[in-house]
Amino acid sequence: MASGSRPEGPSSLESWARVEALTEAPDLGPYHLEPSLWQRDVLGVPSTSRSTWSVLTDIIGCDKDRFDDACYQVERSVVVARTRDKGAVPVAAREEFLIALVTAMRHTATVLLLHGEPRWDPLPPADDDTWAMVNWRLTTAFLGADIAGEIISIGKQRVRVFRTPTHLVLWMWAPGARLTGGYVEKLSDLVAATPATSD
């Protein structure tokens, strides 16, 4: 789940109009099922090694062109912006929806990545740390348990890890935040060690 990231898709109304004019492109499938392929082949959005998608596919261990088949990516704050939104937290109705969503998804998904706005203070968080409180509520809903987790240092970077026998939650830096190879590799190892299904 992102916290207000920079969109890598259409950059203008004209670009979106090109997408909306087509319901399906040859060999790509519907846009809502294959957005990464449409962005690359229809919209001509370049793929860079520092993109959110490249880093996340390395972490979850899938081919980038099949990223949308391997996971769900849900925006937490839903703030429309061409650049990072300075940490606007989701409104109460959005948070309620997200909690219901991750509670339902825990039956088919076993890993939740919360990237952007990580917190390192003791948990449970203070009431006035709104981002940490949102992350904490989503974490406990997904895990089905109240777990303090642990902070792992990887070079100069850190990740907060919450684990049960069947589920994993990672509070990590935003994928575009100059993550080191060792950091991405460690997160990939944690994901790979988690069961593929919770049933």
Domain chopping of the chain, boundaries = 13-192
In contact, 52 and 176? CB cutoff 8 Å: yes
- Average pLDDT score over residue span 107-127: 87
Report percent pLDDT > 70 for the chain. Answer: 68
Lowest mean pLDDT among 2-11, 119-128, 172-181: 2-11
Query: Using omega within 30 degrees of 0 as the cis cutoff, is the peptide bond preceding 124 cis?
Result: yes
Is the per-residue pLDDT at 14 higher than 80? no
- Average pLDDT score over residue span 83-89: 62
Q: How many CA atoms lie within 13 A of 192 on its CB side?
A: 11
Annotate 34-65 with b (16+ C-beta within 10 A) or e (fewer).
Answer: bbbbbbbebbebeeeeebbbbbbbbbbeeebe
State the DSSP code for 66: G
Tokens of 188: 């990939």
pLDDT band at 2 (very low <50, low <70, confident <90, very high): very low
The radius of gyration of the chain from alpha carbons, rounded to an integer in Å, stands at: 17
pLDDT band at 86 (very low <50, low <70, confident <90, very high): low
Report percent pLDDT > 90 for the chain. Answer: 31
Read off the pTM: 0.74
Is the per-residue pLDDT at 81 higher than 50? yes
Tokens of 65: 């062109």
Is the per-residue pLDDT at 8 higher than 50? no
Q: What is the pLDDT of residue 77?
A: 79
